[in-house]
């Protein structure tokens, strides 16, 4: 079972980016969670992605209020 859920960092970052646009299947969500528990770099990537998303949203709100 674990081998079926095993993913590389490249695969996990791809899945994290896909999760921005659509809901991932259960198997992929579990694989990402399992990988995040064992990896130091991928959780940082996910945190940076969330920070960029938040900053982009704030920038859009700011620029719209300046019009």
Report mean pLDDT in 10-residue bins for the chain, 67 residues: 81 96 96 95 97 93 80
* Cβ neighbours for 26, distance < 8 A, ≥ 6 positions apart: none
> 3-state class of 43 per DSSP?
helix
Query: Are the C-beta atoms of residues 35 and 7 closer than 8 Å to each other?
Result: yes
pLDDT of amino acid 62: 82
pLDDT of amino acid 16: 97
Provide the whole-model pTM: 0.80
The residue with tokens 């209020």 is 65
Question: What is the residue extent of each domain of the chain?
Answer: 2-65
* Cβ neighbours for 66, distance < 8 A, ≥ 6 positions apart: none
């Amino acid at each position: 079972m674990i081998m079926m859920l095993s993913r590389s960092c490249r695969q996990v970052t791809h899945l994290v980016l896909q999760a921005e646009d659509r809901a991932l299947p259960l198997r992929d969500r579990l694989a990402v969670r399992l990988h995040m528990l064992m990896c130091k770099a991928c959780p940082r990537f996910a945190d940076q992605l969330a920070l960029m998303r938040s900053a982009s949203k704030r920038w859009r709100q700011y620029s719209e209020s300046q019009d």
